[in-house]
Amino acid sequence: TYINAFFLCVSLFRLKDLEVTELGDSDVHVKMLAAPINPADINMIQGTYAILSPLPAVGGNEGVGEVLEVGRRVTALKPGDWVIPGSTGLGTWRTQGVFPEEMLLKVPSDIPVLCAATLSVNPCTAYRMLTDFETLAPGDSIIQNAANSGVGQAVIQIAKASGIKTINVVRDRPDFPKLVERLMALGADHVITEEMLRKPEMKDIFKSIPKPRLALNCVGGKSTTEMLRHLQPKGTMVTYGGMAKQPVMVPVSAFIFRDVRLRGFWMTQWKKDHAQDQESLASMMDALCQLIRRGQLTTPACTEVPLQDYKAALEASMKPFTSSKQILLL
User: Where are the extended beta strands (E) located within the chain?
Assistant: 2-9, 12-19, 27-36, 57-58, 64-70, 82-85, 96-100, 104-107, 141-144, 165-170, 190-193, 214-217, 236-239, 261-264, 302-306, 325-329
Question: Which residues are identified as catalytic?
Answer: 49
CATH of the domain at 63: 3.90.180.10
The two most distant CA atoms of the chain are separated, in Å, by 66
127 and 93 within one domain: no
CATH of the domain at 172: 3.40.50.720
85 and 42 within one domain: yes
- Domain range enclosing 195: 121-268
150 and 29 within one domain: no
| Sign of the torsion formed by the C-alpha atoms of 85, 88, 93 and 99 | negative
131 and 142 within one domain: yes
210 and 136 within one domain: yes
Of 234, 235, 240, which Cα lies nearest the Cα of 214? 235
Task: Examine the fold and report which residue of 224, 247, 268 is the final residue of a domain before the chain moves on.
Answer: 268
202 and 73 within one domain: no
Per-residue pLDDT 10s for the chain (330 aa) are: 555 655 443 345 788 888 889 999 999 999 999 999 998 888 888 788 888 888 788 999 999 999 999 999 999 999 999 999 998 889 999 999 999 999 999 999 999 999 999 999 999 999 999 999 999 999 999 999 999 999 999 999 999 999 999 999 999 998 899 999 999 999 999 999 999 999 999 999 999 999 999 999 999 999 999 999 999 999 999 999 998 889 998 999 999 999 999 999 999 999 999 988 989 999 999 999 999 999 999 998 899 999 999 888 888 888 876 668 999 999
Q: What are phi and psi of 54, to 5 degrees?
A: -60, 135
Q: How many domains does the chain have?
A: 2
155 and 22 within one domain: no
